[in-house]
Amino acid sequence: MLEKFLSYLRVERRYSDHTILAYQNDIATFISFSEIQQDSDFVEVTPSLIRSWMVDLIQSGQVNKTVNRKLSALRSFFHFLRKEAMVVHNPLQKVRGPKNERRLPIFAKESELQAELLDPLFTDDFDGVRDRLMLEMFYQTGIRLSELIGLKIENASSTQIKVLGKRNKERIIPVSSELALQMKTYLQLREMLVAKSTAFFLLKNGNKLYDKFVYRKINHYLGMATSLDKRSPHVLRHTFATHMLNNGAGLETLKDILGHANLSATQVYTHNSFAQLTKVYSHAHPRGR
């Protein structure tokens, strides 16, 4: 039944391969814990059993956010089982996950990402131009790793890019003149490749990028440009959001650009923005010094 559920996610819900693999691993973990041998055993699953699994996950060192993600995957699976008439009730309806820890997003300083400081880090050949553009696109648009890899040539112009986000929701992100110029330079070099792919970003051999390649590149360049311990494409997404708020962007606008489903996901960045305001106040007001 699990394979049928994963097929449903892939075909009908059009989830990404990365998300489907996460669902598969999370549900398989529960099946192993509960010693389910056949599909009919799912009828016997109770809220008490799920809570025991949740406690086992926490005791094994899983953070609350990970536990809640696994519960969400299992909740979707039982919703599917009920739809398929395999179970009568969804036992997850009576289970509440642990409260997520509120951790502030990690971001780079504006001073660390100045163009004149980044320029010497990149070569002028195809690899260097592409890598610089990847870093700039993460920082200037706030797109996710999967969205950058999935970006198509026809969806990128000198004024905007159209990305396919979570739940296959499309959104339009404006492009600065500086970024547009870098895109133009990259595309000129891209035309020299022998490539059939319609993907915007490619490897030098003409193949499409993959997650680990992009992560490794961004980790490398952020390590050279910043003092951050954590260096990833998602850190640049956090950096984009934080710098936007610090420079006057509204939450609703930022929510739309980031592709968040609700405002609560965007509000986490207000903590960093408030910290910036506090710093400015302490330096500017006579009573704050």
Interval 214-271: pLDDT, tens: 999 999 999 999 999 999 999 999 999 999 988 888 889 999 999 988 888 888 877 6
Catalytic sites, residue numbers: 144, 166, 234, 237, 260, 269
Tell me the per-residue pLDDT of 196-215, one tens digit each, with 9 for 90 and over.
899 999 999 999 999 999 99
Domains and CATH numbers, the chain: 2-94 (1.10.150.130), 110-283 (1.10.443.10)
pTM over 0.75: no
CA–CA separation, 257 and 250 (whole Å): 11
Q: Is the pLDDT of residue 281 over 70?
A: no
CA–CA separation, 245 and 252 (whole Å): 11
**How far lies 29's CA from each of 38, 67, 174, in Å?**
15, 11, 41
More confident residue, 202 or 164: 202
**Selection from 138, 71, 126, 139 nearest residue 100 by Cα:** 71
